[in-house]
Amino acid sequence: MEIKQEKSISSYDRGLLYGDGFFTTAHVQHGQILLWDLHLQRLRTCQQRLGFSQLDWQSLDKYCKDVCASTSQGVLKIVVTRGEGGRGYLPPEHATPTVIVQTSPYPAHYPALHDSGLRLQYAQTKLGHQPLLAGLKTLNRLEQVLIKQEAQQYDCDDVLVEDISGNVIEASVGNLIAMRGGKVYTPTLHNCGILGVYLQHLERNNHIQRVDMSRKDLQAMDALFVCNSLMGCIFVRSLGEQLFDLSLARKLKSQLESGVL
Q: Which residues are catalytic?
A: 25, 137, 170
As a whole number of angstroms, the longest Cα–Cα distance in the chain is: 58
Say which residues have a Cβ less than 8 Å from residue 189's Cβ, sequence separation at least 6.
134, 135, 169, 170, 195, 210
Determine whether 105 is exposed, middle or buried from the number of CB atoms within 10 Å of its CB (0-12, 13-18, 19+). Answer: exposed
Strand ranges (DSSP E) for 60-207?
A: 73-81, 98-105, 118-122, 158-162, 168-171, 175-180, 183-187
CA atoms within 13 A on the CB side of 86: 20
> Quick one: CA torsion of 84, 90, 95, 101, rounded to 10 degrees?
60
Q: Are the CB atoms for 159 and 68 separated by under 8 Å?
A: no
Give dist(CA 193, CA 105) in Å, integer. 26
End-to-end CA distance of the chain: 42
Q: Report H helices in the chain.
A: 14-18, 36-49, 57-68, 110-116, 142-151, 197-205, 215-219, 246-258
Instruction: Say how many residues make up the chain.
Output: 261
Per DSSP bridges, beta strands 183-187 and 208-211 are: parallel
